[in-house]
Structure 1
């Protein structure tokens, strides 16, 4: 059980709530040009370059995706096509939640104020949030913060907007690299790791592991 009553439950969106299918779309677009092993490498490089692209000064998410595709193509010897990169970016608003999410969020929303902090563009996030099926008190994006997670500036923006402190929230994510390591560094004591199997559990960072959002609600006594 999570023995804590947060002022807010703050969530990562893409990957944690929304089924983030960027690797799937890359496979659809490049799978006929690469064999299975090459495609696996392409997806891994693409994942790494997306993280690298958000670590500096803020840039539009469209540029993050395009630059990551371009760098991946250069590394794998594939020709880069701007229109193909745009197809990956344009797919994002179409994605809906993981199957467990609507039920779990509905239970949580009966008691708690729910907040999203997402590495998203303003023009995309409303479509994704609408598909989650629950009311959110606030939704903040990297575009608004002018910083992407894992930079602390993104979290600082959220805390300033909510007029609260790190110790006031329960932060929920399926990613240590983007969220939970930074949350630990910032003094967010209460953290939940939603194990979506795309990153391993790392107990060092003081998280409560949950299998999904309904499990999170159960851990909070709902």
Structure 2
């Protein structure tokens, strides 16, 4: 059985951004709860995320987070919220203020000392710029849905990153792919022969929240419940 590579052997770390580094579920539900309060109704955050997930992953979906306008109009009636496009636009625009998880920025700053960090996000470039700023702009390179013309889990997204790394003097084997989504990242990265690291952000919660459930669970090479856990493991591996 082939052993997982040591954390000291990688030159690059590639990251899912929304859900792994940026708390998109918190950002979505905070905005929806504010709209609900104004409308004098009560909503359940987990129900809202479940409805979001069902509406988001449809055949007529647009790029994220622009698609939140359409998604809002689809879920608002089921939550008892006002069905008006202005509120959908408000939900989309809320992405500009979504917060990084409390451990993300510090962990990324630490990891950037030893690795070249690559963002791989299904978000559009305009939104990524806000996310990157919230994280302290730690990235060596960034690939968005605008750049790739596709979204994960499409292998084509990953192959564009492989091509970039090859031109940079590296190889696919030099990358550790870090993500929270089994569906978008962990499964396909395994199929493509990458070493991967699962950040299980919802370890204390049931279900998959706002992320689509995978057809099957993929056991990752590395598994942490936070970015702080990964950073600590790197320190230990490097003897720091």
Question: TM range, normalised to the smaller chain?
Answer: 0.7 to 0.9
Quick check: 68-77 or 177-186, which moved more?
68-77
One of 184, 187, 207 as aligned partner of 2:221: 207
- The 1-side partners of 2:13 and 2:124 are apart by 21
Corresponding residue for residue 138 of structure 2? 135
Measured after TM superposition, the shift of residue 112 of structure 1 is: 0.6
Corresponding residue for residue 165 of structure 2? 162
- Is the 2:72–2:91 Cα contact (8 Å) retained in structure 1? no
- The 1-side partners of 2:154 and 2:70 are apart by 19
* Structure 1 residues 110-142: Cα deviation after superposition (integer angstroms, max 9, x where no partner): 111011101111112112212212531101101
- Is the 2:72–2:88 Cα contact (8 Å) retained in structure 1? yes
- Is the 2:122–2:144 Cα contact (8 Å) retained in structure 1? yes
Q: Aligned in 2, Cα 1:26/1:207: closer, same or farther, shift over 3 Å?
A: farther
Gap regions ≥5 residues in structure 2: 209-215
Q: Which secondary structure does the structure 2 equivalent of 1:171 belong to? A: strand
* Structure 1 residues 62-115: Cα deviation after superposition (integer angstroms, max 9, x where no partner): 542222222223555755321111111111122232111222112211111011
- Is the 2:61–2:67 Cα contact (8 Å) retained in structure 1? no
One of 1, 10, 14 as aligned partner of 1:10: 14
Q: Aligned in 2, Cα 1:134/1:215: closer, same or farther, shift over 3 Å?
A: farther
Measured after TM superposition, the shift of residue 2 of structure 1 is: 5.9
Q: Aligned in 2, Cα 1:97/1:36: closer, same or farther, shift over 3 Å?
A: closer
One of 188, 195, 209 as aligned partner of 2:200: 195
Quick check: 111-120 or 173-182, which moved more?
173-182
Q: Aligned in 2, Cα 1:207/1:26: closer, same or farther, shift over 3 Å?
A: farther
Quick check: 69-78 or 208-217, which moved more?
69-78
* 1:219 and 2:233 correspond: yes
One of 94, 99, 103 as aligned partner of 2:97: 94
Measured after TM superposition, the shift of residue 171 of structure 1 is: 0.6
Q: Which secondary structure does the structure 1 equivalent of 2:107 belong to? A: helix
* Structure 1 residues 119-171: Cα deviation after superposition (integer angstroms, max 9, x where no partner): 11111211221221253110110111111222222222222233255433101
- Is the 2:179–2:198 Cα contact (8 Å) retained in structure 1? yes
Measured after TM superposition, the shift of residue 36 of structure 1 is: 4.0
Corresponding residue for residue 49 of structure 1? 55
Measured after TM superposition, the shift of residue 12 of structure 1 is: 0.8
Q: What number of residue pairs does the alignment pair up?
A: 216
* Structure 1 residues 5-59: Cα deviation after superposition (integer angstroms, max 9, x where no partner): 123100111121122211221222235454445x643331112322x14xx6984
- The 2-side partners of 1:41 and 1:22 are apart by 12
